[in-house]
Amino acid sequence: MRATFPIGQGSVWKSLLHMYGAECAWFESLQGNEAFVVPGDVPGKLPGNQLGEGGIGDLPDLRHKWEDLERRWTDYLAGMSPDTLEETVTRYSLALQTRLSLRRSDVLLHVCTHAHYTVAQVVNMLRQSGVTTLPQTMLTAMALHAGT
């Protein structure tokens, strides 16, 4: 998990933390909290850096936090109406030192796209580590699996 690679955030672990942290930061922005910092992160660095105190300690801890976030996403998305997709969402990027203003629909698309390419980097690191049974990352394969 912590072996270094010249892609993504440099390791499977750091890439997973970044993917979770970015998802948290954007989810909070959708809730109106435009300057959210993930607990354990140092402000001013990429989300999920976990260089501060009280951060995510291990994979079970990360899994638990991600499951909580998934429940929050499910509730949030279930409560959306088509009109809300056109609303403007702001996020203050501490890493870029700028305020970003985007349509809610674009934020949702960005979160999905970011997760997809980050998980592709993680799968590539796992492959390079010799893992032979890799997770499915194609949307169609995941949809087929979910339907079984």
Whether the predicted pLDDT of 92 surpasses 80? yes
pTM of the model: 0.91
pLDDT of residue 135: 86
3-state secondary structure of 90: strand
Q: Which CATH architecture has domain 12-146?
A: Up-down Bundle (1.20)
Least confident of 2-16, 66-80, 91-105: 91-105
Gap between the Cα atoms of 148 and 145, Å rounded: 5
Gap between the Cα atoms of 32 and 89, Å rounded: 7
CA distances from 78 to 71, 73, 75, 123 (A): 11, 8, 5, 30
CA distances from 73 to 27, 38, 97, 125 (A): 8, 16, 27, 27
pLDDT of residue 48: 96
Please state the rounded mean pLDDT for residues 53-70: 97
For the chain, what are the domain ranges?
12-146
pLDDT digits (tens, 9 = 90+) for 23-42: 999 999 999 999 999 999 99
Whether the predicted pLDDT of 83 surpasses 70? yes
Average pLDDT, rounded, for the chain = 93
Please state the rounded mean pLDDT for residues 82-100: 91
pLDDT of residue 142: 64
pLDDT digits (tens, 9 = 90+) for 104-122: 999 999 999 999 999 999 9
- The H-assigned helical ranges of the chain are 12-30, 59-78, 104-128, 139-146
pLDDT of residue 137: 84
Q: How many CA atoms lie within 13 A of 51 on its CB side?
A: 8
Residues forming a β-bridge with 99: 92
- For 21, the token pair is 């942290």
